[in-house]
Amino acid sequence: MQEKVKTPKQPVKGFVTVELFDKYGDKIQTVRSHNIIRKPAKDHMIWDMKEDFFRGCPGTLPSEPHYCFNNIVLSTATTTPQESGLSDTGVIIGWANKTAYSGSDVYRGTINTSESYATNDKVHWVFDWPTHAANGTFQTILWGNISNFAFTAFVSLMVDTSYYLSDIALGGGYYWLVNYGNTIIKMSSNYEILGTYSLANTNLIGITWGNNFLWVSDTNGNKIHKINPENMSIVSSFSAPSNTVRGLAWYNNSLWVVCSSDNTLYELNPATGTVISSLVMPKPNVYGVCFDNNGNIFFTINDLFVYKMDRNTGNITSMLDIQKPYTRGIILNEDNTLLTVQLNARTITKVYDVQIGARTLLPQPVTKTSTNTMKVQYDFIFED
């Protein structure tokens, strides 16, 4: 017997109401909107129906997907919600879980147990924030999983190697990696090692692909080398624009390099090494950088996280906990997922989605100050 499980296009609808009160308890602003249910939540609904099916019929139940409704989060994100993918999560302004809380945390609110309720066709959540918490401006409300004050990402381990990986590139149909030292690794699209190549008298740290060449950064002399991928010879070299050269990227026909001595990302003319533009990074100790298709920048700083920033404003627009320490290199894969490399773990990890179950973009931003209290009501309505 073959079971087929389908879900309605939108089996659950969500509506949110944000109410802001002044110091006298008078309501001064009300904002309402509806949500989208994202793919991770729909996957869990499908699993729930399969779990129900297999209670009475023989079969093997697949592993339970992540449940992405553990926290309600107030965020600075202003982008249109998407059902899946690495869309901007914004910076967290406030959050709450389903446990009552009365402490001094400047972000955390509490569930209002006296006003929250559930019926056959609706769950009505109510959360309150006191004057000292969630102060700032937000326009997105999300249900999801957070850790280390960032949204938890969906990740999968692609390969475990024996190399101390510091950066990764994609080009010519292959992955190219730097083993911290003087070795470049050539890898197939299936993550099989096809060859290793040593560059004498180098200490390589960054790598990228551009204009049919490999480009590597070398802390031995603070150089950038152009490499012929056919014979792995150095074609030309020039000095980095500042000290302590690190990660490389290629975007819009320019070579980009991070230098940690001044925490700056430089855009270079690849023919001469001349600086075209520069951008101070919003976090110190940047290692890996790459660009998305819109020119926004993903970067790493040798910790657990992947950060995304708006290249025009320099502001961080996402912070994802990928649960992998010592993350250094990063690239945008052809399927718009991210590949990251971990130095000490010697791994390549794919980052493909965010653990967000539902997402709401408010029609206008809400600004809360220390003179305001705030109530957020969130209704999940179950359709027939």
Taking only the tens of pLDDT, the chain with its 384 residues reads 334 334 444 556 778 889 999 888 889 899 988 777 777 767 766 555 555 545 555 566 666 677 888 999 999 999 888 776 788 999 999 999 999 999 999 999 999 999 999 888 888 999 999 999 999 999 999 999 999 889 999 899 889 999 999 999 999 999 999 998 999 999 999 999 999 999 999 999 999 999 999 999 999 999 999 999 999 999 999 999 999 999 999 999 999 999 999 999 999 999 999 999 999 999 999 999 999 999 999 999 999 999 999 999 999 999 999 999 999 999 999 899 999 999 988 999 999 999 998 899 999 999 999 999 999 999 888 765
Q: What is the pTM of this model?
A: 0.87
Model confidence pLDDT, tens digit, residues 348-360: 999 999 999 889 9
| Residue 43 CB neighbour total at 10 angstroms | 18
Residue 2 is predicted with a pLDDT of 39
Please give the CATH number for the structural domain made up of 155-354. 2.120.10.30
Q: What are phi and psi of 350, to 5 degrees?
A: -90, 135
Query: Domain locations in the chain?
Result: 12-145+356-382, 155-354
Q: Which residues contact 82 (CB under 8 A, 6 or more apart)?
A: 36, 38
Residue 4 is predicted with a pLDDT of 39
CA–CA separation, 148 vs 257, rounded Å? 28
Residue 47 is predicted with a pLDDT of 54
Residue 57 is predicted with a pLDDT of 58
Distance of CA 332 to the CA centre of its chain: 12
Residue 7 is predicted with a pLDDT of 40
Model confidence pLDDT, tens digit, residues 85-141: 788 999 999 999 999 999 999 999 999 999 999 888 888 999 999 999 999 999 999
Q: Is the dihedral of CA 148, 331, 86, 94 positive or negative?
A: positive
